[in-house]
Amino acid sequence: MTTANTAFWDDLAEDLKDPEFLRTYVVESVRIATIDATVNALDEARLAAGLSKAALARAIGANPDAIRRLFTNGSANPTLSTVAEIAAALGMRLTLEPLPPAERKQITEPLVSGEHGDTAALVTHLQTLRGSKVRPRSGAKTADAA
């Protein structure tokens, strides 16, 4: 890691001491990771079902361009209704699951309290959540490609 990168992460860890910044950063990190994971799972199910994006769009009565953007644009933010419709067309349903205790400590407690005892650990956890658990969507730019 370069000195500039280290300085960035050190500055971020310092910024996370501000309760409002911490909450915003955690919420956005979780939002991005959740949307990416969900859209990636739907795209994998679409591919496994042998459906084109256009065929999936027809199945749910959506504009094919909207479905194409959903699966290729890294900044998509679909509505829950759209995700539920796509899931149903792919023979799936959405479910919620509780966070494991360690993740709850890293995510839920800071959201509720507005503070985290080890902001460097929080940054590392959120980096992992946003990076390693999700693969880039097809056509999406990655840090390596940018």
Between 2 and 101, the more confident residue is 101
Give pLDDT, residue 2: 62
Per-residue pLDDT at 58 exceeds 50: yes
Structural domains of the chain ordered from first start: 19-131 (1.10.260.40)
Quick one: which of 46, 113, 134 has its CA closest to 83? 46
Between 73 and 53, the more confident residue is 53
For residue range 80-135, list pLDDT tens digits in order.
Answer: 999 999 999 999 999 999 999 988 888 898 889 888 888 888 888 888 887 744 33
